[in-house]
């Protein structure tokens, strides 16, 4: 469970810890457009990775951790993006927005930490416009038994150290079960970040059963 008082140490180290994943983030967020909702904006790291000409009219970022929000606000003040940015202390599992409010929903490396990821995925589906897009990237549970077993054994300890992060969540299935039709790509294993990482886009119009792009197998 997330600490309601936040995680000051995790907030101070997050940018450094996530640096190996910046290439994946850039690949995903370059497609952001219109009114954008970022789930778990953290320190607003994605803001500095956006293209300068990103066609964004507004960015709303939700973040329950006060230490993350403070760092995010500092980054926003420093970067001064050409569109309004609003930070909210909100629960991803109970989004305070009307149905279909956003053209883009951005979720990068956040479903691993949300206490109720299934509810959050359904809320993202609800808040996305019928012609909108989900832009997502997540480290996921490995497909095979060796790595997956290690993830499962390490998760209880890692969750306490890393702000609630679960190493063994099947985030792709969570999004598909919420009704998203996904494109799924796999990032090659990084020596400094060995977890399987998948990313892609999603639409709220679910395709017939079995038509979602299958998740590529992860190396053992």
What pLDDT is stored for residue 14 in this prediction?
66
What pLDDT is stored for residue 165 in this prediction?
67
What pLDDT is stored for residue 106 in this prediction?
98
- Distance, CA of 6 to CA of 136 (rounded, Å): 24
In the chain, how long is the greatest CA-to-CA distance? 47
H helices, E strands: number in the chain: 6, 8
32-57: pLDDT as tens digits: 999 999 999 999 999 999 999 999 99
- DSSP, residue by residue, 69-107: HHHHHHHHHHH--SS-EEEE---TTS-SS-TT-EEEEEE
What pLDDT is stored for residue 71 in this prediction?
96
Q: Which of 2, 201, 162, 160 lies closest to 93, judged by CA? A: 2
What pLDDT is stored for residue 142 in this prediction?
58
Torsion of CA 34, 40, 41, 45, to 10 degrees: -120
Local structure of 206: helix, strand or coil: coil
Which contiguous run of DSSP H or E holds residue 130? strand 128-139
What pLDDT is stored for residue 34 in this prediction?
99
Domains defined along the chain, listed by start = 8-202 (3.40.50.150)
What pLDDT is stored for residue 188 in this prediction?
54
Count Cβ neighbours within 10 Å for each residue of 47-86 and write b for 16 or more, e otherwise. Answer: bebbeeebebeebbbbbbbebbbbbbbebbeeeebeeebe
Q: Does pTM top 0.75 for this prediction?
A: yes
- Distance, CA of 100 to CA of 126 (rounded, Å): 6
* Residue with tokens 């403070």, as numbered in its chain: 70
Low-confidence spans in the chain with pLDDT less than 50 = 1-2, 207-220
Local structure of 37: helix, strand or coil: strand
* The two three-digit tokens of residue 9, written as one number: 């140490």
What pLDDT is stored for residue 166 in this prediction?
57
- Distance, CA of 196 to CA of 187 (rounded, Å): 7
What pLDDT is stored for residue 201 in this prediction?
96
Q: Which of 43, 96, 93 lies closest to 65, judged by CA? A: 43
């Amino acid at each position: 469970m997330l600490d309601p008082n936040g995680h000051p140490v995790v907030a101070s180290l997050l940018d450094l810890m996530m640096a190996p994943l910046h290439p994946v983030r850039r690949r995903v967020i370059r497609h952001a457009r219109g009114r954008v909702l970022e789930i778990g904006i953290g320190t607003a790291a994605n803001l500095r990775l956006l293209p300068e000409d990103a066609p964004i009219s507004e960015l709303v970022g939700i973040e329950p951790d006060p230490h993350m929000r403070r760092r995010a606000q500092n980054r926003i003040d420093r970067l001064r993006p050409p569109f309004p940015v609003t930070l909210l202390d909100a629960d991803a599992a109970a989004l305070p927005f009307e149905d279909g409010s956003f053209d883009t929903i951005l979720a990068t490396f956040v479903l691993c930490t949300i206490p109720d990821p299934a509810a959050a995925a359904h809320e993202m589906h609800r808040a996305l416009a019928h012609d909108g897009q989900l832009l997502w990237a997540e480290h996921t549970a490995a497909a095979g038994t060796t790595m997956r077993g290690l993830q499962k054994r390490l998760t209880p300890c890692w969750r306490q150290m890393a702000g609630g992060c679960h190493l063994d969540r099947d985030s792709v299935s969570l999004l598909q079960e919420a009704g998203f039709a996904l494109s799924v790509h796999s990032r090659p294993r990084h020596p400094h970040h060995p977890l399987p990482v998948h990313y892609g886009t999603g639409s709220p119009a679910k395709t017939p059963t079995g038509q979602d792009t299958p998740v590529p197998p992860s190396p053992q």
